[in-house]
Structure 1
């Protein structure tokens, strides 16, 4: 049974916490030993970035609204539009930038290690 939706930053509070809205839709045990499933709706206003971060498991994402530039370490930058999906490997630094003109909405499902923070901010990769 899904828990009641809540807004969370899932990590250290920073200046982005006041710009992004992350709503946890589900947080449930997985059938995979040592893993749990967390589903989050993230809303990013035009011109705002998520900040470089990692997750302790896969992120399977879907752009529900808007156009998002997804930078993933050691991969070409993606421009994702409404209706497109993406996959980010575990512990891979990445950053999402909403290109506008409206607020972007991403639905992400994480299959992550139990007891680890779902999101950890990291330094941007060196280019």
Structure 2
């Protein structure tokens, strides 16, 4: 991914073990709910980024900002979301996303999670 593919001033970090997947943590704050925090992240998917199944210790609220992403969420039909579409992944539910377009796809992921737990756990 070249620097021209992302907004100025944003330096994504590669997701370990997931080539073509880049994350930019935008904010992390404690919530008024004891033991919970909100984490907001911009996630960029290259067209060749392989999907991987994972889950979070809380809800994930997603808004697709650019491109088209296919979401497979355990117990739900697979859905393709385009720029402007939103969806929610329930607490602890296994899911994966993949870019179904020819260019970079971007989502804004907002996590409302248990504080002190890993934000993402891969399922092998």
Q: Under a length normalisation based on structure 2, what TM-score does the superposition of the two structures give?
A: 0.86
Structure having the higher strand fraction is 2
The answer to whether the 8 Å contact 1:49/1:95 transfers is no
Q: Which deviates more, 46-55 or 102-111?
A: 46-55
Which residue of the partner structure matches residue 19 of structure 1?
20
Which residue of the partner structure matches residue 5 of structure 2?
none
- Residue 7 of structure 1: CA displacement? 3.1
Between the aligned partners of 2:12 and 2:100, the Cα distance in structure 1 is 26
The answer to whether the 8 Å contact 2:46/2:104 transfers is yes
Q: Under a length normalisation based on structure 1, what TM-score does the superposition of the two structures give?
A: 0.84
Which residue of the partner structure matches residue 121 of structure 1?
122
Q: Which of residues 4, 9, 13 is equivalent to 1:7?
A: 13
Q: Which sections of structure 2, spanning at least 5 residues, go unmatched?
A: 1-10
Between the aligned partners of 1:47 and 1:69, the Cα distance in structure 2 is 13
Q: Which deviates more, 71-80 or 42-51?
A: 42-51
Which residue of the partner structure matches residue 77 of structure 1?
78
The answer to whether the 8 Å contact 1:21/1:44 transfers is yes
Compared with structure 1, are the counterparts of its residues 8 and 103 closer, same or farther at alpha carbon in structure 2 (3 Å cutoff)? closer
Which residue of the partner structure matches residue 112 of structure 1?
113
- Matched positions, count: 115
Q: Which deviates more, 49-58 or 81-90?
A: 49-58
Q: Which sections of structure 1, spanning at least 5 residues, go unmatched?
A: none
Between the aligned partners of 1:78 and 1:67, the Cα distance in structure 2 is 10
Which residue of the partner structure matches residue 65 of structure 1?
66
Which residue of the partner structure matches residue 45 of structure 1?
46
What is the DSSP-based 3-state SS (H/G/I as helix, E as strand, rest coil) of the residue aligned with 2:97? strand
